[in-house]
Structure 1
Amino acid sequence: MIDHVYISVTDIEKSLAFYAEALKPLGWSLFGKYDSASGPADVPDLHGLRDSAYGSGTEIGCSIWLRQRQPGETGLYLGIVCDSNEAVDQAYAAALKAGGTDEGKPADRTYFAPGYYAANIADFDGNRLEFVHKAWNPKRRK
């Protein structure tokens, strides 16, 4: 299941308005901003939209985060739900073995939220995967 996606855009305000209106019929809404000053230097300001389940604690929800596109930037950033910290560790190890590049070893990422555990990998084209376990998410049904 997809947890979150980062979309790099050239105009944050215009894009926020577009995504908010386009996704409103599907139950999505704006819900805030992550200020990069509260985390590591490589995490940019992020502007969030969420589906109706996101953060509910009763279902696993999805979010979209808009970020300011940098010159020459391409690629995708995709967060993938893991059911445990151990699953994050296993996916990270498998991705490295398959030839991925480390972009952040498995660790708590409390600058996002308590109980946020993740690891980051890049593929051969610079697309990025984040394997993430959020302690507040219920277990997925298999």
Structure 2
Amino acid sequence: MIDHVTFGVTDFARSVEFYDQAFAPLGVKRLFEVPLEHTGGVKVAGYGDDRPWFWLAEENATRGMLHIALTSKDRASVDAFYAAALHAGGRDNGAPGLRPHYHNDYYGAFVLDPDGHNIEAVCHSPEAT
């Protein structure tokens, strides 16, 4: 299942203004902006209703124009995805680990596919005991 999608945009301010207005009638609003220290200085904003699932990211040379995150059932599956993707020729874009700047249990891994798209597996559940 798709957890969230991120689109790279060439003019972040223009795009945020557009989506703020276009999504309002649908009850979708800007819920989150990732602190710049967690993005390497790239502006990122998340939209949704109860949680962010549509993201915009300022385009730059190190980030592809598309990011798709798939929901994983557990953290071990995130780890397995990362290993399999690297073995298949993907490039590391963020090793498996917690990303508490999203929320305390956000455990994700990121790889770039052969075309440079940022593909993620994410588990939102606490670690199994």
Relative to the length of structure 1, the TM-score reads: 0.74
Paired AA for residue 32 in structure 2: G
Which portions of structure 1, spanning 4 or more consecutive aligned residues, are displaced by more than 6 angstroms? none
The answer (yes or no) to whether the contact 1:75–1:125 under 8 Å persists in 2 is no
For structure 2, list consecutive stretches of 5 or more residues without a partner in the other structure. none
- Aligned residue number for residue 11 of structure 1: 11
1:119 maps onto 2:73 in alignment: no
Q: Distance in 1 between matches of 2:30 and 2:23?
A: 10
Deviation at 1:99, TM superposition (A): 1.8
- Aligned residue number for residue 57 of structure 1: none
1:49 maps onto 2:47 in alignment: yes
Q: Distance in 2 between matches of 1:40 and 1:47?
A: 11
Q: Distance in 2 between matches of 1:106 and 1:72?
A: 19
- Aligned residue number for residue 22 of structure 1: 22
Identity %: 33
* 1:70-107 per-position Cα deviation (integer Å, ceiling 9, x unaligned): 26965311111112111111221221222211222211
- Aligned residue number for residue 32 of structure 1: 32
Aligned Cα RMSD in Å? 2.4
Q: Distance in 1 between matches of 2:62 and 2:69?
A: 22
Q: Distance in 1 between matches of 2:62 and 2:120?
A: 22
Paired AA for residue 27 in structure 2: G
For structure 1, list consecutive stretches of 5 or more residues without a partner in the other structure. 55-61, 137-142
Deviation at 1:116, TM superposition (A): 0.9
Q: Distance in 1 between matches of 2:29 and 2:35?
A: 19
* 1:91-140 per-position Cα deviation (integer Å, ceiling 9, x unaligned): 2122122221122221112233211111111111111101111127xxxx
Relative to the length of structure 2, the TM-score reads: 0.80
Aligned length: 126
Q: Distance in 1 between matches of 2:93 and 2:62?
A: 19
